[in-house]
Structure formats: C-alpha cells, structure tokens
Amino acid sequence: MRAEDAPLIRLEDYRPSDWLIDTVDLDIVLDPTQTRVRSQLQLRPNPAGHAGAPLMLDGDELTPDSILLDEVPLDPALYSLSPQGLTIHAPPVRTFSLRIETTLDPGANTKLMGLYRSSRVYCTQCEADGFRRITYFLDRPDVMSVYTVRLEAEKTQAPVLLSNGNLVAAAELPGGERHFAVWHDPHPKPAYLFALVGGKLDHVRQDYVTADGRKVELAVYVEPGKAGRAGWALDSLVRCMRWDERVFGRNYDLDVFNVVAVSDFNMGAMENKGLNIFNDKYVLADPLTASDGDYASIEAIIAHEYFHNWTGNRITCRDWFQLCLKEGLTVFRDQEFSSDERSRPVKRIADVRTLRSTQFSEDAGPLAHPVRPRAYKEINNFYTPTVYEKGAEVIRMLKVLIGEDAFARGMDLYFERCDGTAATIEEFLHCFVEASGQDLAHFARWYEQAGTPTVVASGKYDAKAKSYTLQLAQSTPATPGQSDKQPVVIPVALGLVGKGGDLPLTSISPELKAGGVVVLDQPSLSLTFTDVPEAPTPSLLRGFSAPVRLELDLGDSELLTLFTADGDSFNRWQALQTVALRALMRAGKGDMSTLDATATALAGAFSGFLADPALDPAFAAQVLRLPAPADIAREIGIDVDPDVIHGTHRRLSAAIGAALTNQLTDLRAGLTDRGPYSPAATPAGRRALRNEALGLIALGAPAEGSKLALAQFAEADNLTDRLAALAAMTLVPGAEREDLIARFGELYALEPLVLDKWLMAQALIAEDGTLARVKGLMNHPAFSLGNPNRVRGLIGGYAANLTQFNRADGEGYGFIADIVIALDRTNPQVASRLLGSFKSWRMLEPGRRTKAEAALRMVGATPNLSRDVADIAARSLA
C-alpha cells in the first residue's frame, strides 16, 4: 500500500472486534538473523461482534512459515495474505486454536518497532502497532489476552531472558549451550504491552513490600559495566511506588518489576506490563555523566511508566483515539509525584514552559488536533504534546473544577469500575459525574476542540462603592478542520491583590466558587466583588488553572506589584514574564522604543528579589530566565523574522546581565556547594540559580563571563556545572570557546549520552557558521543516523535553533528535509518527528515562508514515503 493510499481511520467508525483472543502462548527462539516465533492463539467469536465474520489478523513485513487451525495445517485456499495481514475467510464459529510460525531478522530491523537488536540486546517496542511485526494478531488495544511466553537463546549470547509477568520456569537445555525461560502474565493485556528482552546485562535489585503485603523483586537492567549508574532509577522506582500507594491507593500486582535500559529506542520509555523498556538516557545517571535535569527526568519518567500499571495497563484504552486517557492522565500523575518530591511551584512553572513551547505552538499551526483526535492515518504521529501535556492539563482542570475530594472519589470509582477493561473518555468522565454530582458534558468539549483559547480580562474599581468589577471573555481561533469554535469550560483561579498582599474575596455572583475559582463557560461574564478596601490588581489563572492565553489590561507597574505582593508563586513568575514578553514582542515587530526601559525595570525587580535572604534558589532561577525566542515568535504569530527576535532577546538579556553583573557574581559565590554532589531538589536549585546567573553575565559582560565559565568548568565535580559552563561559552565567540568545545568532546569521548548534549550545544549556536558545523559533526565518530538519541541531539538540536533552522537563504530547511528523506528509509518514526520541526512555518515572514513550503513540498513529493512522513507532510501543507 502506498502512503497516499493509507485509509483514514475515524472514531465514528469504531466497532468491537469480531473475534477475541483469550490466551496467547508464544515460543520464541532468539537468533540475530533467524528468530523463530511460534504463536498459539485461543480464539472465540466476540458476542458483541458480527457472527460469521472472517478473521482478519494484522501483519507487517511477515510471511507465515506454517498455519495450523486446531492443530491441522490450514489449506491455503482457506486464507489469503496481503501486506496488511492474514485473513481466514470462514473460521469456525466457536472457540478454536490457531498456531502460526514466522521467522524474523531482528538485526535488520532498523525501524526499531517489533522485535529488534540493540547493542547485541534483543528487545521489543510494540506500541502502537509493533506486535504485528512479530506475529499475526488482532493488534488493537481492545483485544486483551493472557500471555505465556517461552524464550530460548544461546547462554553466551543472551544469559538474561525477560518477558511480561512472573517467571514460572527456567533451565538449561541438553548440552548446556542453550537455555530457556517461561514467563506468565495473569493479567489480560493488549498486544501493544507485550515485551521481551534477551542479552548480556548487569542489574541492580531491591526487595519491596507493597502496602497490601505483596513481596516484589525490583530490578533495573543495564549494559555490562553500567550497574553503578542504575541506582537513582531504582531509588526513584521505590519512591514512586510508595507515593502511588499513599496518594492514589494503587498497589503493584506482580511478583517482579523489571526495568531495562537500551541504547537504541524511538521513544523515551515503554510501560510494558512488569517489564518497562527505557531509552538508556532515562535510566543511567552518575554525577559526572548526568545533569540535574537528567536526574529529574529519570525520576519523572520512571514514575510515569510505573504509574501506567494502573492508568494504561490494568485499565487500557478502547481504541487509539482514547490515547489521552492513558497518557494525559499518567502525565498528570507523574507531574503530581514530581511536585511532591521537589518544589510544587517550580515544577508547575517548568511544566507550563514546556506546554507553551511545545503544545501551544502545535495548537497554533497546521498540525493542531484535539486532545482526542477524530481521525488519523498514522497513529504514531499522535503521540504529541496535545495528547500528553494538554491531556494532563484537562485532568488538572477537572480537579480544580470539582474539588480535591470529589476528584479523589472519581479516581477511586474509575479504578474500581474499569479495572481489567479497555475504557473510553466517556466512561472516565462519568465516574466524576457520579462522584461530584456535576454535569460535565460541556467540560468534555476540551477533548473534542483543538486550539488554545484566549481569555481577555479587564477590571474597574469603584472607590465610592468599594467594589471591583471583573470582565472576562473567551475565544478560540480556528484550527484545521474546525473553523467554528464553541466556548469551553475554563476554571479561572483568582485573587485580588492589594499593597500588602491578597484581599478577601466577597461576591454574590454565582460564578465565584469555593477556593476563589470562577467558571468561565460562556463567551463572556462579569462579576462584582464587594467590600474591596482599595483598588486591587487582579491575579488570574493562579497556578495556571487552565491551558489558555491570558490578555490583561494591566500596565508594567501593576505587573511589578503582582511580582512583589501576589500570594501565588506562579503568578509572581508570570508577572515578570509578561513584562518581558510585551517588550520583546514589540521589538520583534520593529518597535524598540520600550526595550531599554524594560531592561531597567526588570533589572531593578531582579535586584530587589535576589537580595531577599529568604530567596528560594530554584524559584529564583525560573524568575531570571526570560521568555525564549521561540515563545516570542509564537506570540507574534505572523510575519515573524527570527533574526530580529533573536537580536532583541540578546539585547534585553545583555542589558540585564550588564546591570546586574556585580550582584550576580557575588550571588554565584555564595551558592557554591561545599559538599559532595547530590541530585536532591535543594542543591539542584542552588546550581540552577548559579548557572542561570552565569548565562546572564556571559551576555552582559562577555570577558567576565568567559573567565567565570572556564573556571567553573575546570573546578566542576559534576556534569551540570560543566554543561552550564559550556553553554555560557557558546554565547561568546572566539578561540576560548572552540578550545573548551574540543576539551569537552575529548573528556567525554567514550560517553555517548553526554556527547549527545555536546552535539546539541553546538547545534544551538545562533551563528551563521552553525550549519557547516553541524554537517561536519555528522562525520564525528560518535554520530550515527541509525541511533535516535544521536539524531535528536545533533539534528534535532539544529532544527530547534530558531535563527539557523530558519536561515533567510532556506538552507536550514533544505538540510532538515534531506535528513528526513534519508531517515525515512530506515526509521520513519524518527523521520516524521523531525519533520514536525516545520510545524510553525506559516507564521514566518514571506521570504522564509516560501522557502519552508518548498522544502515541505520536496519531502511530500518524494516517492515511496512511509505513512509516518507522508502524513506529517500532507497535514503541514494542507
């Protein structure tokens, strides 16, 4: 089937499978080029399906060696084969067995989907549709089966044999050269959760006892010689298991829980039942090879995949349109875990930064889609920030809307009612309707309507009546396929701030709910607060209570008041972000008149803030970080000139850095750690502020910044400080920078995950020579187009470079387009994600826009594209 002929899958066309598979027995004999897979399926008609329907099993690049129905070879006249699978035209209308044998070549599987071999380790990736590359099957999430898996291999080649569930048998085979292991998972699961691993692996382990008394053996498997870097992942696993018991009442349900790290992996990690497989960058950590950000990511992603055991595995999704049901909900859960483990305000700010930079930009471009899409051609292209991050924000809004107690009751009801099922959004929401007594039909529009709503707010104070009237209005811009937008339910958490802090909230308006939440569910509303003793400044969307854009009628002076007096940490941070963003947007459009005054105002606000003896360093690091150039481009939204935006951002940052150089230098000296490195939140926060200050000094006083950066690199006992020194030096062109880049590369020549960061740091340099630098680095011994991490580091880093990807001559677009076409032949998933870098091309100024479109059309016109890349190209150009 050609990519352009791929069918459009629609939510409204869903119907249950005509057949069910109760049990799956797999016998897999591992071999680098000739792996034999024998599957024994126990099938029966689905009472909810069509009686007498043919049995249509999915298959991808498979050829059956044999097919037996009830142990009798199946007459070839009774079935047909196609590139999409195997069809048995008239199967028995009763329970029957089907045995199919196939042969695979794991070593040649460059798509990294199905069964493949990574660094001499056999592993699998089956979500969303990789199991059909292993054997013929009903490869859909609503077909849930009990699996028993026998694995066999040479002992020297694969001494470790792992699969889902509990180990029930293992032994050597006669002769002693081969061995086998049998794993049984008693919990029915869809095929996308199947996994196996075989290879030479080291591990760390720990016994764990669940809150309900089950003894569980935990283990983290890594490549030989790297067990010393697996301790943080194991520690994170223990902490998230205990947290899930305490906060959500969820206990683990098998006798073992295994995590395996592999070096070639398309995704971050995969929640296969009892056998989570991870990209090794999200498992391996020690102070010299992992940054503070890596430690935090490992903690969060270990938790995310573990939390899937209930929100994704025990309860899975009925079809892939419900993907947000498992992913958005689980992102929410891992965000809550990290907030409890670290700083809740800092975590919230970091999550909103990610949401705005990835999801808001997706919503604003041609790839916009609802949290629950209505149609797709390639499901792998919908593992997106909208499904994950916006999906999590919808869950968070639900909690704000109905309150913590009702939310907890709704989650308990969901776990109880839907356990062991493939559920839908409607079934999920109905649990909260019952728990809260509220009608959530209007709220459900968040799942169906794409786009980022804008809330416009204005207020007026009546000094004589001591009242304050707040006006709120909402609108959502048109998105592809949805031109007519309806109002959504927006919970606006708010406060009124006076000179001394928060003022009491008193109002007879029914829109004001408990906890200071106003529900905006119509195009506009007005509410009046009484007994307001002074003219207040409104603090809206506290804690970022809804994923919307906010337009305020507040001046810079009022925003600076919020920064000093607001009781909500998020809105304190947001106040200064808004001051900076407004000036940068004006400058990005050519009006530089307010930029210097804004620099003076922000430097003054920063100076007073940093002098506070009660300063929280992690929060202060977030405050010092200005909106990124990509954020400015997104907010301008039309006729964007990346060079102008970059120049104005540098000018503002440099002015602030110059004004604060002495204070920032003294601050850094006071933040130096004296003890051994720890990834814990408090020392990590101190390093974050110290390194944020270093970046500002490098821009404001380059000579002083270079001196400090070189000294920090020489003295550092951890990767975090070395990377920060490298990043600061990339801002200061010259021989010293090039020397440090070379020294860093030599120091970490044998550490691929650190070299990924080294490659990215160079790819992000905002200078004309960066494209030539990147092309040269593609010849570096550490780089390979066959490894997704290397591609994401170097090529993905370049595609994220606002000025150089968007070069005025169009060479950046052509370079990425060529890489996409080359990658598509071997790894379509990585290629399609890289092509997503063009998602904001329509907002560029006409010259760049024309060149970006030409590059996209060149990709789209390439013969024999994969469905993955063809889909992204077509949607980007639609």
Q: Catalytic amino acids?
A: 305
Q: Which amino acid is at 375?
A: A
Q: Which of 143, 117, 138 is nearest to 264 (CA)?
A: 117
Q: Which of 173, 191, 193 is nearest to 182 (CA)?
A: 173
C-alpha separations of 227 from 37, 284, 294, 608 in Å: 31, 8, 17, 46
SS3 750: coil
Q: Which amino acid is at 16?
A: P
Q: What's the alpha-carbon Rg for the chain, to the nearest Å?
A: 28
Strand 490-498 with 537-540, pairing? antiparallel
Q: Which of 480, 448, 413 is nearest to 321 (CA)?
A: 448
CB atoms within 10 A of CB 288: 15
305 contacts 326 by C-beta, under 8 angstroms: no
For 141, which DSSP code?
T
For 807, which DSSP code?
-
Tell me the sheet residues that pair with 37: 28, 102
CA–CA separation, 248 and 308 (whole Å): 13
Contacts of 846 (CB under 8 A, 6+ apart): 639
Q: Which of 408, 487, 399, 404 is nearest to 446 (CA)?
A: 487
The DSSP H or E segment spanning 706 is: helix 702-715
CB atoms within 10 A of CB 574: 25
C-alpha separations of 185 from 11, 308, 313 in Å: 30, 16, 12
CA–CA separation, 690 and 667 (whole Å): 7
Complete edge-to-edge strand list for the sheet that includes strand 467-475 = 524-529, 467-475, 454-462, 549-552
Contacts of 592 (CB under 8 A, 6+ apart): 586, 648
C-alpha separations of 490 from 450, 508, 575 in Å: 14, 20, 20
How far is C-alpha 444 from the chain's CA centre?
23
Q: At what angle do helices 344-354 and 617-624 cross, to 10 degrees?
A: 30
CA–CA separation, 832 and 878 (whole Å): 16
Q: Which of 392, 536, 544, 369 is nearest to 460 (CA)?
A: 536
The DSSP H or E segment spanning 549 is: strand 549-552
Residue found under tokens 């009751």: 409
| Residues 683-687: contacts with CB under 8 Å, at least 24 apart | 684/292, 684/295, 684/296, 684/618, 684/720, 685/343, 685/346, 685/616, 685/617, 685/618, 685/619, 685/621, 686/617, 687/292, 687/718, 687/720, 687/721, 687/724
299 class by beta-carbon count within 10 Å (0-12 exposed, 13-18 middle, 19+ buried): buried
Residue found under tokens 């990585």: 830
C-alpha separations of 123 from 171, 243, 452 in Å: 21, 29, 39
The DSSP H or E segment spanning 573 is: helix 569-588
